[in-house]
Structure 1
Amino acid sequence: MKGLYCKLDEAKELKFNIQETSIAATIGDHQVKVQVKGCSLSPVDTKLCEDLKLQREHVPVGREIAGVVLQVGPKVTFFHPDDEVVGILPLDAEMSGLCDVVHVDEYNLVQKPEKVSWFEAAGAIKDGLRAYTALHTLARMAVGQTLLVLDGASPFGVLAIQLAHYHGVKVLATAISPDDQKFLEQLRPSVGVLESLIARVIGVWDTKVDLVDSCLEETGGLGVDIVIDAGVRLYEEEPEVKNISHTSTTSSLFLQLELDPPDSRILFLKAASISFLNEEVWEASRARQGRYLHIMKDVVEKLSTGIFRPLLENPVPLYEATVSMEMVQRRQVRKRVVVKL
């Protein structure tokens, strides 16, 4: 059986390769044996693995999976053979999600609705989890608030926009290219009144456009309530997307982490806060497990009803996974890549 793995070379660069691997003959009491049908590719965070002391010579790649249950452990209560499931493999998983078959704890999976495709489920589960964490857990969004999503045409940005609009939040979004701006302006809900999901698309690719002025104009000078900065480039000519992943909950537009004292004072006067978006935190505490599963169930439910419509590339075969993962790691693809198994 083959899976996708990566390792750091002497130059501290990640090298991806498909290699043979094996699966344990028996499964644990609370484990589920899943035949993988689709696996989404996300960048590997080597710094996070280092911080959590999870360094290994070969790190498994591909954690967001969708598939069919083949076998369940003796104490599994959530699933039965032939159930269709979707979930996220834990950070310390020893097997790649691109293996034909994986063993995974039942508490990392939820039922996949029949009408949701393997590729939609695998491609949306992590971005959906991030959107819920940002808007519900951290920002505590409410009807009537105004949200600014930076780089709204990213896979995460699209789901955040859809989730916020569904809950009655006014959405502003930035576009980093003319194509992204056109795409965002054409976003419509799949059901109900076909009004635009976004109140205003701010084309920051145009140097004549001022982000702060645009937001103040759209909000009558009051500013926005929530800002989501998922790590973006402001202009197309910048070589790489900066790896800053956090959510800012604030009534003004101070988007940098290193705030000058006057700016910090203004945030204090507005009772604003800055929160860091780390979707892996759900696995750090058993007390959070119920909420974690509840969020994933909500994500797939919104997929089944058309509220969530993920931004996906066409599914790629396993033999193209190495090249695709290299592009994902270098952030050279704009849509979510899902491997078909």
Structure 2
Amino acid sequence: MKGLYYKADGDKADVKFLLQDTNVPINIGNHQVKVQVKSCALSPVDFELFEDLKLEREHIAVGREITGVVLQVGPRVTFFHPDDEVVGILPLDAEQSGLCSVVLIDEFNLVPKPEKVSWLEAAAVIKDGLRAYTALHTLARMASGQTLLVLDGASPFGVLAIQLANYYGVKVLATAHSPEDQKFLEELRSAAVARNVEETLLARVIRVWDTKDDLVEACLEETGGLGVDIVIDSGVRLFDEEPEPQRYKPHKHDLLTLLSVGGHWVTTEQHLQLDPPDSHILFLKAASVSFLNDEVWTASRAKLGRYLHILKDVMEKLRTGVFRPQLEESVPLYDATVSMEMVQRKQVRKRIVVKL
């Protein structure tokens, strides 16, 4: 059988992926489950994280969010039985790609898939849902009545963060990077009205692509000058002059300015630099900065029960329609390399899922 892998050659500027033959280990561990994979979602690979955790090898397995049917269980497995439908995330150090037709995975990395949920949607939502929960519940301590700003709200993660926050009674603002993103986000808002929901999904769409819209002014206007309680970014500009791809990312000082007293800034910027004046602003506001790294759940042995509880709740939210992932058309295995290169270069705006 074939799996999708990245061959480490030191050139991160021109990333190439390849399909290569691989075998399923014959022996099953005590707590391992053999799963026949039905679908696998594609997400960008964080090569820097692999280097930091010393997980580099000649071939890095790609594709980790899987759904499938249990074929066989280890002697000490208690959570699952053959023929169970499951969904889960392969660990960072997995030697098998999620695009293999059969994989071995620890039972503690899987949760049951609800019956009425499709294979494709379950694979598409599992990781972005985990990120949304990590950002809003674990890091920001979200509460009803607060105000949330989601930067790049039309991204797969941004959409789920908006839906989760709205479900818990949070007022949501989101930025749009293009007229197409703006239209998409406004349709999310219109769909909520059509279903007779009391509050729309979005209180305001901020058009960062339009120079007439100012991010700070818009947020302060929506909050009566008090600022936003929670900010989730998709990267920030650390300096005034940045390369062209950074033009829609806000400057770090803008986010500090629009943050409320006691607010939480959840950042995806791994190399965030805060100067003493920036720290002083945070001190005056009694605000905090948290770093969003959803891989800590699988990279660390701590809080495994909480991790599984989040995954189960993500599936429940998908079953009840709270989560509605944005999917591209499913792609066959032979197109996985081209699709993964597009995902890695961030050339697609919806989640791509490979159907096996």
TM-score by length of 2: 0.89
The answer to whether the Cα contact below 8 Å between 2:208 and 2:248 also exists between their aligned partners in 1 is no
Among candidates 311, 326, 338, match of residue 353 of structure 2? 338
Partner of 1:286: 301
- Which AA in structure 2 matches 1:72? V
Cα distance in structure 2, aligned partners of 1:232 and 1:260: 14
- Conserved 8 A contact 1:37-1:67: yes
Match of 1:202 in 2: 206
Cα offset, 1:192, TM superposition: 5.6
Name the counterpart of 1:304: 319
Matches of 2:134 and 2:323 in 1, distance apart? Answer: 15
- How is 1:1-16 mapped onto 2 (pairs within 5 angstroms)? 1-9=1-9, 11-12=11-12, 13-16=14-17
User: Does the residue aligned with 1:110 lie in a helix, a strand or coil?
Assistant: strand
The change in CA–CA distance for 1:275 and 1:221 in structure 2 (over 3 A counts) is same
Provide structure 1 residue ranges, at least 5 long, that are not aligned to the other structure.
none
Equivalent of 2:260, from 232, 239, 251?
251
Q: Is residue 185 from structure 1 mapped to residue 171 from structure 2 by the alignment?
A: no
In 2, are the aligned partners of 1:240 and 1:331 still within 8 Å (CA)?
no
- 1:251 CA displacement: 1.8
Percent of residue pairs bearing the same amino acid type: 74
Aligned to 1:214: 218
**Contact 1:250/1:273 (<8 A) preserved:** no
* Distance across 2 between alignment mates of 1:283 and 1:303: 22
Query: Which amino acid is 1:261 matched to?
Result: P
Q: Determine whether 1:168 maps to 2:172.
A: no
Matched residue, 1:61: 62
1:105 aligned partner: 106
In structure 1, what residue type is equivalent to 2:169? Answer: G
Does the 8 A contact of 2:41 with 2:124 survive in 1? yes
- Any idea what the Cα deviations from partners look like across 1:70-108, whole Å, max 9, x if unmatched? 111110000011100000000000000000000000000
Tell me the TM-score normalized by structure 1: 0.93
Match of 2:278 in 1: 263
Alpha-carbon contact 1:163-1:307 (below 8 Å) kept: yes
Unaligned ranges ≥5, structure 2: 238-242
In the TM superposition, residue 271 of structure 1 has moved relative to its aligned partner by: 1.1
Q: Give 2:240's aligned residue.
A: none
Aligned residue pairs total: 337
Query: CA 1:48 to 1:10, structure 2 compared with 1: closer, same or farther past 3 Å?
Result: closer
Matched, 1:317 2:332: yes
Runs of 4 or more off by more than 6 Å in structure 1? 240-244, 246-249, 252-256
Residues 40 and 98 of structure 2 are in contact (CA less than 8 Å); yes or no, is this contact kept in structure 1? yes
Q: Is the 8 A contact 1:67 1:84 kept in 2?
A: yes
Shift of 1:243: 11
CA contact (8 A) 1:231 1:242 kept: no
> Compared with structure 1, are the counterparts of its residues 277 and 156 closer, same or farther at alpha carbon in structure 2 (3 Å cutoff)?
same
Structure 1 counterpart of 2:142, one-letter code:
M
Amino acid at match of 1:9: D
Deviation per CA, 1:38-80: give whole Å up to 9, x if none. 0000111111001101000000000000000011111000001
